[in-house]
Amino acid sequence: MRDKLKLIQECMDRAVYKQEVAGVVALEVKEGKEVLFAKSGFADIKNGIPISRDTIFRLYSQSKPITAAAAMMLVEDGIIDLGEPVGNYIDSFNNQTYLSKGKVHKVPVDKKMRIRDLMNMTSGLVYPGIGTPTEVSVGRLMNGMEKRLGTDKMVSTMEFAEKIGKIPLNFLPGSHFQYGTSADVLGAVIEKASGMTFGDFVRARILDPLRMKDTDFYVPDSKKDRLSKAYKNVKGRLVEYHGDRLVIRNDGGLNPFESGGAGLFSTVDDYARFGQMLLNNGKFGNKQILTPNSIKYLTSGRLNKDQQIDFDNWQGLEGFTYGNLMRVMDDPSQASIIGSKGEYGWDGWLGAYFVNDPSTKTTFIMLVQRFDYGTGPLTRKLRNIIFS
């Protein structure tokens, strides 16, 4: 009989030994019961602190599914509507421009960015880059914000959204897919629509009801000793990374920019609670967090034909489509991993990873903290052990 836990432990230990990652934790929950937990390596190499079950990790983009769930709550409450313009909530989105063939054009009234464009990354909003003037401008905006971190001039979630709305979009909303700052703007929409800060809304509606006691947009001083260090592989060796990429404070300090796309810190058990709530049709214990119909909508999103062509260029995500800030497995025969049609989840820039497989009622979470890791080789290997 195959010993899954032994295979996972050996696979993790090899990755730590080869300095692919400094430390890793992984958890599999099936039909509400823990099947396996494993860990290897260090949260802090220099001080010899081993990684542990309660180590706090920077989720980066694995924050996005929580932001999407928050938006669905306002949809089922009848407060926002996914088809309405983002400009209803953020003024600068009312007279936007977009790039086409090197020229800046005004977005026509009937093509205004809608909230669903934020959910599907079809908004024309992008991350910093050097490919287009828009990507360069967004880089400039975020660099300026990063320089202000820790001062009394930090930029808030809504201020960020107002500023980015003035930058020409990379394309006409709805015409393409491009991964970018859509979830951060969605956080600002949730803030305006709910009348609460984005962080307060997420705490009140998701984190507190799910007892995600170690998850937030900052790490309090009393928990800083549990925050993992981040690492970068330089010439085969792991060195500490201290950058505040995408305006996320590496030190876990308070940040008025509560980033819906990248801002949360969490633990493996906390995130598993969120995953289990989604798998359990929105229920957690005796609480209904989201309705079954909202969950069905949230976890079965897909791109249209034109948008999918853009997504298909994403190496490693063959066989998937995208919707509501998550990947969704559409054709397992095309994937580079063993998986099932209808599985969904997302990952994070430093290597946080989450998947729910409704067909086997399985939640799998794996957390590492390595520069530019995303879904890395270790992630795919551990997944294959679990899902084969």
pLDDT, tens digit, for every residue of 228-256? 999 999 999 999 999 999 999 999 999 99
388 falls within a domain: no
Task: Among 199, 232, 251, give the residue marking a domain's end.
Answer: 199
Task: Verify that 140 and 217 share a domain, yes or no.
Answer: no
Task: Verify that 207 and 336 share a domain, yes or no.
Answer: yes
**pLDDT, mean of residues 314-332:** 97
101 falls within a domain: yes
State the pTM of this model: 0.98
Separation of first and last alpha carbons in the chain: 13
Task: Verify that 95 and 234 share a domain, yes or no.
Answer: no
Task: Verify that 99 and 125 share a domain, yes or no.
Answer: yes
pLDDT value, residue 1: 85
Task: Verify that 226 and 267 share a domain, yes or no.
Answer: yes
Task: Verify that 340 and 237 share a domain, yes or no.
Answer: yes
Task: Among 199, 219, 250, give the residue marking a domain's end.
Answer: 199
* Residue 168: band (very low, low, confident or very high) from pLDDT cuts 50, 70, 90: very high
- Closest among 59, 33, 7, 70 to 366, alpha carbons compared: 59
Structure token pair of residue 249: 């404070």
Neighbouring C-beta atoms of residue 275, cutoff 10 Å: 21
**pLDDT, mean of residues 347-365:** 98
Tens digit of each residue's pLDDT (9 = 90 or more) over 259-282 = 999 999 999 999 999 999 999 999
Task: Verify that 245 and 354 share a domain, yes or no.
Answer: yes
382 falls within a domain: no
Total tally of structural domains belonging to the chain:
2
Q: How many CA atoms lie within 13 A of 104 on its CB side?
A: 10
Task: Among 150, 176, 199, give the residue marking a domain's end.
Answer: 199
Q: In this structure, what CATH number is given to the domain that contains residue 135?
A: 3.40.710.10
pLDDT value, residue 101: 93
Structure token pair of residue 106: 């005004």
Task: Verify that 75 and 192 share a domain, yes or no.
Answer: yes
R_g over Cα of the chain: 20
Which domain, by its residues, includes 272? Answer: 4-62+202-373
Tens digit of each residue's pLDDT (9 = 90 or more) over 20-58 = 999 999 999 999 999 999 999 999 999 999 999 999 999
Phi-psi region of 165 (alpha: psi -120 to 50; beta: other; left: phi over 0): alpha
